[in-house]
DNA sequence: CTGTTAGCGCCTTCAG
DNA sequence: CTGAAGGCGCTAACAG
């Protein structure tokens, strides 16, 4: 590659100062047409590509771009429905402000520091997990504005979370109200160690991922509180029934931990239905997981929601489009992305936002076939 | 914001030269531990965030990141299934090489120049269209390596295309072989003017988008050649039949032009089926469009493939997951992304690649109900 | 090992 | 309107 031509070369060739040449490119209107043409001509002749952004950047200090950091590889941005929707929110704001968008992967712990320190951006959106303190610290040290999504690193940092626990509770309560008693849980990863399969009490207690832990807690809340709920009394009246209902212990339930990608979800759904074919309702911790349950059920000839009810979590676009459309806990995913990007662009003091969740009843939930509280 | 502290400040505070301080951060092993500690201590005390990449960048010349340019807004990267799959390919290679990925939107013609000239990258992948000469020229002028996908800008530039025409022909031939005679075409945009709806000969001839034009041509090829094909003779034997088959003229067919997003596709599918309820087969120019036809058919109580056959194009992941799974023309989307990224990273002389397409028969095509060549 | 020096390419005062 | 000069923050080359 021949030595690149610089602004100075063009200026010299055109017989003007570098300052003037610079103006020709950044503010052409303030330079005399005659001179401008001469400079442009020289630029063309020398094959000058225009001001190099690298130089401009250093000078300007501002990059006009934000980076989104995930603890996964770059393909994750385009693979996971949830993250896609989130990114649509982020991208929308960047579009509005004419800002750029850089994707950064912090998968490799060793390289994460380097990646984060090299990103040419004005701020970060970090998709973090509980155990990722190191990542957070790295980001903080970089000294740029940042916002953390899905976990709250405490005051002093921007964060956006949802009430995972309340949402999960909503899901379980919905099923309980429908009369379900035999539940299976398809869980997101509990810790980032690649382990999947049946979850016991020990593992459950070791939850490193905040969302997983809180959703589990939310399910448990619903089971524990079931007997105290008015609708429950109304429906089942009797004291014994209520007691039995209250007696559902999450640690007695079949819980399968699965990776939240297509393959992992399919494997998890299969494992759950293999292990607990008697369940009438599945609580899936994400829509990806729930959709996999739908597929698995179909391939077993199980009709949803007649033979099996399924509730997802997140409400990704695919949920509403599924057949039947998925009942799920909706969180404002795109809004989350928008808000995160706005927090970066607008600056201001650290904010901690909690976005609302709500139950969206669609077509994958119904009363269990034998309507009595099951045995 | 207080003035940011720089390497020079740290060096001064630690009583070492700037060069030494630099080494502490980039090659800590070559500086005496005692000195290193002293520098690190000063850095901590002053709140030094580490070497600013902007400075390093200018010095190093290399960014270690590539940019992907689309003539759409940034959200497109996360919305369109085809582009998502393509980006997975690109991202995979970036992951491998530890490179960064920047997304750049060239929607706004006015701002496109600025955006492209400001992107801090080592090379571009450009998703271009025929009319986008300007975009291409802009990219070329930037003087960085680039590869154009989906159109071939001629020798001298890297490009990756598929044989759109051959693929379309495959699709139409498949339907013809099944015995279909009444076709509807759901077309991608013909020109970037936002027009949708019925397409007449004039509009068809004005095709600005290469892929659309070629796919239309491919369908036409199949119709024109039908009478000459051996299987056609075998199946229908008679001379008159063959003639009639050859007589299918694409300009007599209902063709609806639609935007390739969820909403646009749904509207297009509806328009097509409204306008031509008698069709037994739909040729959709993308899977997104085909999937919308599936939905529309379902909502009309049409059974696919019994009442209606549908062939898509591209083979996005959603195609195989549809119910019934979509028969489509597969192109190696992810591979395309991989190849594009590799071409940037590996450099070398300009290459022009054409990737293969193939027909993938799944569950949305079958013989028409009244099996005789229809009237 | 450490200090000094010289740019990387650009833009923006400040004089003229 | 134009020219000269300084510096954005860092690192590589070269002396000590």
pLDDT given for residue A247 in this prediction? 61
Helix and strand counts by DSSP (H, E) for chain B: 17, 13
Give the confidence band of B284 by pLDDT, cuts at 50, 70, 90: very high
Within chain A, residue ranges assigned H as helices are 7-14, 18-26, 33-46, 53-60, 76-79, 81-97, 109-118, 133-142, 164-178, 201-205, 210-225, 230-236, 239-246, 262-275, 287-299, 317-321, 333-346
Longest dimension (CA), chain B: 98
Instruction: Compute the mean pLDDT over every residue in chain A, rounded to the nearest whole number.
Output: 90
What is the pLDDT confidence band of residue B129, given thresholds at 50, 70 and 90?
confident
Residue B146 class from Cβ within 10 Å (0-12 exposed, 13-18 middle, 19+ buried)? buried
Q: What is the pLDDT of residues A76-97, one digit of tens each?
A: 999 999 999 999 999 999 999 9
| pLDDT surpasses 90 at A237 | no
A273 in a domain, yes or no?
A: yes
Neighbour tally for A86: CB within 10 Å = 28
CA distances from A73 to A110, A260, A341, B143 (A): 14, 14, 21, 29
Which residue carries 């988008």 as its tokens?
B209
Residue A180 shares a structural domain with residue A269: yes
* pLDDT recorded at residue A360: 98
**Per residue in B258-288, is it b (16+ CB within 10 Å) or e — as a string?**
bbbebebbbbbbbbbbeebeebbbbbbbbbb
Q: Which residues of A touch B65 (CB under 8 A)?
A: 102, 120
Q: What percent of chain B has pLDDT over 90?
A: 77
Cβ-based neighbour number of residue A349 at 10 Å:
6
Residue B22 is assigned to a structural domain of this protein? yes
Residue B255 pLDDT level (bands cut at 50, 70, 90):
very high
Q: Do B49 and A98 touch (CB under 8 A)?
A: no
Same domain, B304 and B172: yes
- CATH code of the domain in which B19 resides: 1.10.260
**Strand D and B30 CB separated by under 7 Å:** no
Residue contact B117–A79, C-beta within 8 A = no
By DSSP bridging, strand A255-257 and strand A197-198 are: antiparallel
Same structural domain for residues B33 and B75? no
Distance CA A344, CA A336 (A): 13
pLDDT at B241 (0 to 100): 52
Of B114, B146, B162, which one is at a domain's C-terminal end?
B162
Q: What is the pLDDT of residue A4?
A: 81
* Whole-structure pTM value: 0.92
Q: What is the CATH number of the domain that holds B98?
A: 3.40.50.2300
With respect to residue A86, please indicate whether it lies within any of the assigned structural domains.
yes
Q: pLDDT, tens digit, for every residue of B105-123?
A: 998 888 899 999 999 999 9
Does B326 lie in the same domain as B183?
Answer: yes
Task: State how beta strands A100-105 and B100-105 pair.
Answer: antiparallel
Structural tokens at position A100: 């750029």
In a domain, A339, yes or no: no
Q: Region B298-302: what's the mean pLDDT?
A: 97
Closest CA to A267 of A298, A292, A284, A291: A292
Which of A118, A125, A334, A341 to probe the B interface (max B CBs under 10 A)? A118
State pLDDT tens for residues B57-105: 999 988 999 999 999 999 999 999 999 999 999 999 999 999 999 999 9
What pLDDT, on the 0 to 100 scale, is given for residue A235? Answer: 55
Question: How far is CA B162 from its chain centroid?
Answer: 11
Which tokens in the block code for residue A135? 């990542």
To which residue do tokens 């003779």 refer? B233
Per-residue pLDDT of B137-149, as tens digits, reads 899 999 999 999 9
Domain of B101 in residue numbering reads as 63-162
CB contact under 8 A, B78 and A84: yes
Mean pLDDT along residues B235-264: 74
Domain end point (choices A100, A130, A162) = A162
CB A116 within 8 A of CB A138: yes
Instruction: From B68, B256, B1, select the one nearest B77 (Cα to Cα).
Output: B68
Q: Does residue A249 have a pLDDT over 90? A: no
Q: Are residues B155 and B184 in the same domain?
A: no
CA distance A185 to A285: 8
**Quick one: pLDDT at residue B373?**
42
Q: What's the whole-number mean pLDDT along residues A336-340?
A: 98
Look at residue A322 and tell me whether its pLDDT is greater than 80: yes
CA of B137 to C1' of C13 (A): 35
Is residue B150 predicted with pLDDT exceeding 60?
yes
B51 touches strand C (CB under 7 A): no
Number of structural domains found in chain A: 3
């Amino acid at each position: 590659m021949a030595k690149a031509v610089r602004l100075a070369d063009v200026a010299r060739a055109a017989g003007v100062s570098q300052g003037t040449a610079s103006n020709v490119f950044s503010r052409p209107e303030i330079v005399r047409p005659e001179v401008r043409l001469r400079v442009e001509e020289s630029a063309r002749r020398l094959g000058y590509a225009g001001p190099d952004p690298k130089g401009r950047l250093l000078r300007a200090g501002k990059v006009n771009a934000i980076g989104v950091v995930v603890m996964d590889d770059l393909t994750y941005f385009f693979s996971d429905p949830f993250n896609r929707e989130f990114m649509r929110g982020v991208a929308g704001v960047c579009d509005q402000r004419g800002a750029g968008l850089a994707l950064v992967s912090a998968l490799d712990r060793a390289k994460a520091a380097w990646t984060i320190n090299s990103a040419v951006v004005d701020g970060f959106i970090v998709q973090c997990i509980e155990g990722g303190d190191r990542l957070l610290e790295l980001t903080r040290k970089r000294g740029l504005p940042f916002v953390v999504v899905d976990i709250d690193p405490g005051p002093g940092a921007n964060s956006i979370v949802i009430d995972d626990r309340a949402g999960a509770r909503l899901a379980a309560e919905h099923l309980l109200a429908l009369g379900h008693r035999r539940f299976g849980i398809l869980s997101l990863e509990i810790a980032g160690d690649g382990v999947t399969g049946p979850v016991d009490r020990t593992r459950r207690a070791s939850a490193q991922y905040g969302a997983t832990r809180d959703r589990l807690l939310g399910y448990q809340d619903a089971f524990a509180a079931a007997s105290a709920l008015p609708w429950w009394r109304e429906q089942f009246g009797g004291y014994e029934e209520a007691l039995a209902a209250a007696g559902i212990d999450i640690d007695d339930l079949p819980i399968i931990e699965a990776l939240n990608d297509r393959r992992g979800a399919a494997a998890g759904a299969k494992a759950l239905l293999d292990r607990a074919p008697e369940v009438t309702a599945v609580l899936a911790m994400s829509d990806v997981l729930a959709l996999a349950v739908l597929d698995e059920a179909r391939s077993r000839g199980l009709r949803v929601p007649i033979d099996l009810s399924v509730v997802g979590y997140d409400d990704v676009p695919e949920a509403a489009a599924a057949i039947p459309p998925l009942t799920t806990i909706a969180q404002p995913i795109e809004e989350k992305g928008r808000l995160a990007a706005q927090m970066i662009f607008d600056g201001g003091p650290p904010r901690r936002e909690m976005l609302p969740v709500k139950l969206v009843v669609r077509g994958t939930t119904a009363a269990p076939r034998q309507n009595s509280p099951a045995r």
